Amino acid sequence: MYDKDTGMLDRLLSMFQTVQDEGHGSVVLVFIIGMVFGSIIQYTKVHKFEKIAGFSMLKDTVVPKMLFLAIGLASIGLFVLIHFGWASYHIKPIMLGGLIIGGAIFGASMAIFGKCPGTGPISVAEGRIDVMVGAIGGIFGGLVFTVFYDQFKMIMGTSLGKLTLTGYFEDSQGISVLIFGLVLIAISIAIPLVEEIDTDDIGYKE
Protein backbone atom coordinates (compact mmCIF):
# COMPACT_ATOMS: atom_id res chain seq x y z
CA MET A 1 0.00 0.00 0.00
CA TYR A 2 1.21 3.44 -0.86
CA ASP A 3 0.76 6.51 1.32
CA LYS A 4 -2.88 7.56 1.23
CA ASP A 5 -2.46 11.30 0.62
CA THR A 6 0.08 11.14 -2.16
CA GLY A 7 -1.90 8.23 -3.59
CA MET A 8 -5.01 10.34 -3.94
CA LEU A 9 -3.09 13.27 -5.43
CA ASP A 10 -1.26 10.99 -7.86
CA ARG A 11 -4.51 9.51 -9.02
CA LEU A 12 -6.09 12.93 -9.54
CA LEU A 13 -3.08 13.99 -11.59
CA SER A 14 -3.29 10.75 -13.55
CA MET A 15 -6.93 11.64 -14.36
CA PHE A 16 -5.74 14.75 -16.25
CA GLN A 17 -2.90 12.80 -17.87
CA THR A 18 -5.32 10.08 -19.05
CA VAL A 19 -7.59 12.66 -20.70
CA GLN A 20 -4.64 14.45 -22.30
CA ASP A 21 -3.31 11.15 -23.73
CA GLU A 22 -6.64 9.66 -24.76
CA GLY A 23 -7.31 11.95 -27.71
CA HIS A 24 -10.92 12.85 -26.93
CA GLY A 25 -10.14 16.55 -26.62
CA SER A 26 -7.49 18.27 -24.51
CA VAL A 27 -7.97 18.72 -20.75
CA VAL A 28 -8.81 22.39 -21.33
CA LEU A 29 -11.39 21.58 -24.01
CA VAL A 30 -13.09 18.90 -21.89
CA PHE A 31 -13.18 21.31 -18.95
CA ILE A 32 -14.78 24.00 -21.16
CA ILE A 33 -17.31 21.46 -22.52
CA GLY A 34 -18.27 20.85 -18.89
CA MET A 35 -18.63 24.59 -18.20
CA VAL A 36 -20.87 25.09 -21.25
CA PHE A 37 -22.92 21.94 -20.49
CA GLY A 38 -23.41 23.07 -16.89
CA SER A 39 -24.26 26.65 -17.88
CA ILE A 40 -26.98 25.57 -20.34
CA ILE A 41 -28.55 23.49 -17.57
CA GLN A 42 -28.12 26.21 -14.95
CA TYR A 43 -29.59 29.02 -17.08
CA THR A 44 -32.64 26.91 -18.00
CA LYS A 45 -32.89 25.83 -14.33
CA VAL A 46 -33.53 22.19 -15.27
CA HIS A 47 -31.15 21.09 -12.48
CA LYS A 48 -33.51 22.38 -9.82
CA PHE A 49 -35.57 20.14 -7.54
CA GLU A 50 -38.65 22.10 -8.62
CA LYS A 51 -38.07 21.08 -12.26
CA ILE A 52 -37.07 17.40 -11.88
CA ALA A 53 -39.25 16.37 -8.93
CA GLY A 54 -41.89 18.73 -10.34
CA PHE A 55 -41.84 16.71 -13.56
CA SER A 56 -42.32 13.49 -11.58
CA MET A 57 -45.54 15.04 -10.20
CA LEU A 58 -46.40 16.30 -13.72
CA LYS A 59 -46.47 19.83 -12.35
CA ASP A 60 -43.48 21.07 -14.37
CA THR A 61 -42.71 20.11 -17.96
CA VAL A 62 -39.58 22.12 -18.76
CA VAL A 63 -37.34 19.05 -18.40
CA PRO A 64 -39.11 16.81 -20.98
CA LYS A 65 -39.71 19.72 -23.37
CA MET A 66 -36.05 20.70 -23.41
CA LEU A 67 -34.81 17.10 -23.43
CA PHE A 68 -36.94 16.02 -26.39
CA LEU A 69 -36.15 19.17 -28.37
CA ALA A 70 -32.41 18.70 -27.83
CA ILE A 71 -32.52 15.01 -28.82
CA GLY A 72 -34.74 15.67 -31.85
CA LEU A 73 -32.47 18.38 -33.24
CA ALA A 74 -29.21 16.63 -32.34
CA SER A 75 -30.26 13.27 -33.84
CA ILE A 76 -30.77 14.91 -37.25
CA GLY A 77 -27.64 17.05 -36.89
CA LEU A 78 -25.48 14.13 -35.80
CA PHE A 79 -26.68 12.04 -38.76
CA VAL A 80 -25.54 14.82 -41.12
CA LEU A 81 -22.15 15.02 -39.36
CA ILE A 82 -21.69 11.26 -39.69
CA HIS A 83 -22.75 11.39 -43.36
CA PHE A 84 -19.87 13.78 -44.05
CA GLY A 85 -17.46 11.71 -41.95
CA TRP A 86 -17.15 14.30 -39.20
CA ALA A 87 -18.44 12.10 -36.37
CA SER A 88 -19.36 8.50 -35.57
CA TYR A 89 -21.83 6.55 -33.43
CA HIS A 90 -20.78 5.22 -30.01
CA ILE A 91 -23.65 2.91 -29.11
CA LYS A 92 -24.39 1.34 -25.72
CA PRO A 93 -25.37 -2.36 -25.86
CA ILE A 94 -28.88 -3.66 -25.11
CA MET A 95 -28.62 -5.46 -21.75
CA LEU A 96 -32.25 -5.91 -20.77
CA GLY A 97 -31.77 -6.69 -17.06
CA GLY A 98 -29.54 -3.68 -16.53
CA LEU A 99 -31.66 -1.31 -18.61
CA ILE A 100 -35.01 -2.25 -17.08
CA ILE A 101 -34.00 -2.77 -13.44
CA GLY A 102 -31.42 0.02 -13.57
CA GLY A 103 -33.86 2.35 -15.33
CA ALA A 104 -36.61 1.67 -12.78
CA ILE A 105 -34.24 2.32 -9.85
CA PHE A 106 -32.85 5.41 -11.58
CA GLY A 107 -36.28 6.90 -12.31
CA ALA A 108 -37.52 6.36 -8.75
CA SER A 109 -34.33 7.86 -7.28
CA MET A 110 -34.56 10.83 -9.63
CA ALA A 111 -38.12 11.56 -8.50
CA ILE A 112 -37.18 11.47 -4.80
CA PHE A 113 -33.73 13.10 -4.97
CA GLY A 114 -34.82 15.59 -7.65
CA LYS A 115 -31.41 15.39 -9.34
CA CYS A 116 -29.52 13.25 -11.80
CA PRO A 117 -25.75 12.63 -11.82
CA GLY A 118 -25.04 15.51 -14.24
CA THR A 119 -27.21 18.13 -12.53
CA GLY A 120 -26.23 17.33 -8.92
CA PRO A 121 -22.83 19.07 -9.04
CA ILE A 122 -24.51 22.31 -10.21
CA SER A 123 -26.79 22.34 -7.17
CA VAL A 124 -23.88 21.53 -4.87
CA ALA A 125 -22.01 24.51 -6.39
CA GLU A 126 -25.07 26.68 -5.57
CA GLY A 127 -24.88 25.68 -1.90
CA ARG A 128 -27.66 23.06 -1.70
CA ILE A 129 -26.76 21.03 1.38
CA ASP A 130 -29.34 18.29 0.74
CA VAL A 131 -27.75 17.64 -2.66
CA MET A 132 -24.32 17.49 -1.05
CA VAL A 133 -25.64 14.75 1.26
CA GLY A 134 -27.12 13.00 -1.78
CA ALA A 135 -23.75 13.23 -3.55
CA ILE A 136 -22.13 11.48 -0.58
CA GLY A 137 -24.82 8.81 -0.94
CA GLY A 138 -23.90 8.58 -4.61
CA ILE A 139 -20.22 8.08 -3.82
CA PHE A 140 -21.21 5.18 -1.54
CA GLY A 141 -23.40 3.85 -4.37
CA GLY A 142 -20.37 3.97 -6.66
CA LEU A 143 -18.31 2.17 -4.01
CA VAL A 144 -20.89 -0.61 -3.57
CA PHE A 145 -21.25 -1.04 -7.33
CA THR A 146 -17.48 -1.27 -7.78
CA VAL A 147 -16.98 -3.77 -4.94
CA PHE A 148 -19.92 -6.00 -5.91
CA TYR A 149 -19.51 -5.59 -9.69
CA ASP A 150 -19.51 -9.36 -10.32
CA GLN A 151 -22.90 -9.71 -8.60
CA PHE A 152 -24.38 -6.66 -10.36
CA LYS A 153 -23.17 -8.05 -13.68
CA MET A 154 -25.49 -11.05 -13.21
CA ILE A 155 -28.48 -8.68 -12.97
CA MET A 156 -27.38 -6.78 -16.06
CA GLY A 157 -27.53 -9.84 -18.29
CA THR A 158 -25.88 -10.44 -21.63
CA SER A 159 -25.67 -7.99 -24.51
CA LEU A 160 -28.24 -8.34 -27.27
CA GLY A 161 -26.13 -6.12 -29.48
CA LYS A 162 -25.65 -2.43 -30.16
CA LEU A 163 -28.78 -1.88 -32.24
CA THR A 164 -29.98 1.46 -33.61
CA LEU A 165 -32.92 2.77 -35.60
CA THR A 166 -30.59 3.64 -38.47
CA GLY A 167 -29.23 0.10 -38.44
CA TYR A 168 -32.76 -1.32 -38.48
CA PHE A 169 -33.85 0.80 -41.49
CA GLU A 170 -30.62 0.29 -43.36
CA ASP A 171 -32.03 1.23 -46.77
CA SER A 172 -33.67 4.45 -45.62
CA GLN A 173 -31.42 5.71 -42.85
CA GLY A 174 -31.82 9.40 -43.65
CA ILE A 175 -35.60 9.28 -43.75
CA SER A 176 -35.86 7.22 -40.55
CA VAL A 177 -33.62 9.66 -38.62
CA LEU A 178 -35.53 12.63 -40.04
CA ILE A 179 -38.88 11.16 -38.93
CA PHE A 180 -37.43 10.20 -35.53
CA GLY A 181 -36.09 13.72 -35.02
CA LEU A 182 -39.21 15.49 -36.22
CA VAL A 183 -41.49 13.31 -34.05
CA LEU A 184 -39.40 14.16 -30.97
CA ILE A 185 -39.45 17.88 -31.82
CA ALA A 186 -43.24 17.68 -32.29
CA ILE A 187 -43.62 15.92 -28.91
CA SER A 188 -41.48 18.61 -27.29
CA ILE A 189 -43.70 21.36 -28.71
CA ALA A 190 -46.94 19.46 -27.99
CA ILE A 191 -46.23 18.92 -24.27
CA PRO A 192 -48.09 21.77 -22.54
CA LEU A 193 -45.80 24.13 -20.66
CA VAL A 194 -46.44 24.12 -16.92
CA GLU A 195 -43.96 25.37 -14.34
CA GLU A 196 -43.24 25.15 -10.63
CA ILE A 197 -41.09 27.99 -9.37
CA ASP A 198 -38.63 27.86 -6.48
CA THR A 199 -40.15 30.47 -4.19
CA ASP A 200 -36.80 30.74 -2.37
CA ASP A 201 -35.16 32.26 -5.48
CA ILE A 202 -34.57 35.99 -5.17
CA GLY A 203 -36.92 37.95 -7.40
CA TYR A 204 -38.77 34.81 -8.50
CA LYS A 205 -41.84 36.84 -9.36
CA GLU A 206 -40.13 38.80 -12.19
List 6, 24, 171, 205, residue binding another protein (CB under 8 A) = 24
Q: According to CB under 8 A, which residues from 133 to 172 bind another protein? A: 133-147, 149-150, 152, 155-156, 162-166, 168
Question: Is 182 one of the binding residues for another protein (CB under 8 A)?
Answer: no
Question: Is 201 one of the binding residues for another protein (CB under 8 A)?
Answer: yes
CB 155 within 8 A of CB 98: yes
Per-residue mark of binding to another protein, 50-69 (x: CB under 8 A): x--xxxxxx---x-xxxxxx
Question: Is 187 one of the binding residues for another protein (CB under 8 A)?
Answer: no
CA atoms within 13 A on the CB side of 165: 12
Question: Is 117 one of the binding residues for another protein (CB under 8 A)?
Answer: yes
Distance CA 181, CA 73 (A): 6
Question: Is 25 one of the binding residues for another protein (CB under 8 A)?
Answer: yes
Least distance (Å) from another protein to the CB of residue 186? Answer: 13
Question: Is 93 one of the binding residues for another protein (CB under 8 A)?
Answer: yes
Q: According to CB under 8 A, which residues from 28 to 47 bind another protein? A: 29-46
